[in-house]
Amino acid sequence: MATDPDARKVPINYEGGTVVMTYGMAKSLFSDDSSFISPEGEETSVSVKGHTRTRVIGQPSTPVAGFSYTYTQWPNLPGGNASGGEAISMTWDGTESWWTARLHGSAADLGTFLNSKSPRSVLFKTERGTTYGPFIKTLL
């Protein structure tokens, strides 16, 4: 059974949320070579404070030394049964076609992201019918 590679879902993370769209939609909006479609992992450092641990209630505690580690954080989506996100409709560059995506986070944060990163003039509507945009990256 063959599947369309452009129908795969792609999460695009930004400050304050994530928008999930098909690969074909992301290519059309951000272009083929966009870092949003094939993102790099972000190095993240974590420090754990020293603490005590009790293995059996009533037994003495043992000290655990503090430590640090780093890992690569890849784009992800919120988990859980109710984390489907809000359906939004998007269009760009004055076309009559509307694409459907799922928004995890606020519409204001998505607008800020599109205003700083989108190479196209983008409009989007929430489920309630509120229209946001047009957003387009400003070239200084």
pLDDT along the chain (140 residues), means of 10: 78 86 86 70 91 91 94 74 79 86 91 87 90 74
Q: pTM for this structure?
A: 0.69
Q: Please compute Rg for the chain using Cα positions.
A: 21
Q: Is 140 exposed, middle or buried (0-12, 13-18, 19+ CB in 10 A)?
A: exposed
Residue 10: its pLDDT value, please?
83
Evaluate whether 88 touches 126 at the Cβ level (below 8 Å): yes
Residue 33: its pLDDT value, please?
59
CA distance 43 to 118: 25
